[in-house]
Structure 1
Amino acid sequence: MKKIVLIDGNNVIHKSPALKQLFAKDKNAARRSLIEKVKTRIGRGNSVEFYFDGHSDSKSSGIFFSGNKTADELIRSRIEKTEDHKNMTVVSSDTFITGLAKACGCAVRSSAEFLQSLENEDKVFNGKNINERYVPDNEKPKSSNRKELDFYRKHFT
Structure 2
Amino acid sequence: MQEHLIVDGNNALHAIDELSQELSRDRNQARESLLRMLEPLPAGEGIRLTVVFDGRGVRPDLSSHGGMEDYTVIYSSSSEGADGIIERMLMASKEPGNIVVATNDGLIRNCAYQNGSAAMRVQELIKRLDSSIDQTSRRVRSRSRDEDGKSPRFENRLPLEDLEP
The answer to whether structure 1 residue 84 and structure 2 residue 95 are counterparts is yes
Structure 1 unmatched ranges of 5 or more? 136-157
The answer to whether structure 1 residue 106 and structure 2 residue 109 are counterparts is no
By percentage of residues, which structure has more strand?
2
Q: Which residue of 2 aligns with 1:28?
A: 28
Percentage identity across aligned positions? 27
Q: Which residue of 2 aligns with 1:67?
A: 77
Structure 2 unmatched ranges of 5 or more? 65-71, 144-165
Conserved in 2, the CA contact under 8 Å of 1:15 and 1:115?
Answer: no
Alpha-carbon distance change, 63 to 133 in structure 1, aligned in 2, over 3 angstroms:
farther
Q: State the Cα deviation string for residues 82-121 of structure 1 (Å, max 9, x = none).
A: 0101111111111111111111111111122212333455
- Give TM-score, length-normalised by structure 2: 0.68
Conserved in 1, the CA contact under 8 Å of 2:40 and 2:132?
Answer: no
Q: Which residue of 2 aligns with 1:14?
A: 14
- Give TM-score, length-normalised by structure 1: 0.71
Give the superposition deviation at 1:134: 10
Greater radius of gyration (CA): 2
Q: State the Cα deviation string for residues 45-73 of structure 1 (Å, max 9, x = none).
A: 311011001237x7522111122121100
How many residues of Structure 1 are paired with residues of Structure 2 in the alignment? Answer: 130
Q: Which residue of 1 aligns with 2:51?
A: 50
SS of match in other structure, 2:77: coil
Post-superposition, which runs of at least 4 consecutive aligned residues in structure 1 deviate over 4 A? 119-122
Q: What's the RMSD between the two structures over aligned residues? A: 2.7
